[in-house]
Structure 1
């Protein structure tokens, strides 16, 4: 699950965010405790706690005293909105710049994207 590209606590936080976006974790659902998470993935509990605190600070999860951590009610919508905004900045803008460099007309790019969306092999929501 973990690689050497970024700190483990960030990878944990990103995995939990991805689970929220995919619907694996839904709004108001309880998430594993930091100790359970640490035991399951064989990591230092402090690392798991740092990841969870990062998610609390971002408003993705919240603590119910004496009960545990839960997915925030607005987390799925907020995460999706943030990802959509980054998609345009991080993916679409460089794609358009590359197409211009290669002399690909905008209409060709749009047509190709539409074909990809219509392709059954890609599946919806991926």
Structure 2
């Protein structure tokens, strides 16, 4: 489940974010407790708690005292908007710069994308 590329608590946070973006976790749905998460994945509870705390800090999860952690209202929209911004900054903008550098007209890039879109 976890790899060595980044700290486990970040991978936990990313997994929960992915579950929210894909709809596997809905807004206001309760998530596993940090102890349940730690037991299920056989990790230190403090590591799980650190991942959950990051999500609370980011506004993705919220705590109901004595009950547990829940997915924040609008968490999916918040995450999708952030990922869309990253997609354009990390993928599309560099692609456009490379296309210009090698002399590919932007209209050809758009035409190629439209052709690939029809394949889906």
Name the TM-score, length of structure 1 as normaliser.
0.91
The number of residues matched between the two structures is 120
Alignment of 1:1-126 (within 5 A): 1-120=1-120
Residue 101 of structure 1: CA displacement? 2.1
Deviations 1:8-64 (A, max 9, x none): 100110111011000000100000100111111111110000000000000000000
The ranges of structure 1 where at least 4 consecutive aligned residues each deviate by more than 3 angstroms after the TM superposition are none
Q: Which runs of 5+ in 1 are unaligned?
A: 121-126
Query: Which segments of 5 or more consecutive residues in structure 2 lack a partner in the other structure?
Result: none
Question: Cα deviations across residues 56-114 of structure 1 (Å, max 9, x unaligned)?
Answer: 00000000011110000110111111111111111111111111222211111101111
**Structure 1 CA distance, aligned partners of 2:54 and 2:115?**
39
| TM-score normalised by L of structure 2 | 0.96
Find the aligned partners of 2:87 and 2:44 in 1 and give their Cα distance.
33
CA separation in 1, counterparts of 2:65 and 2:100?
A: 54
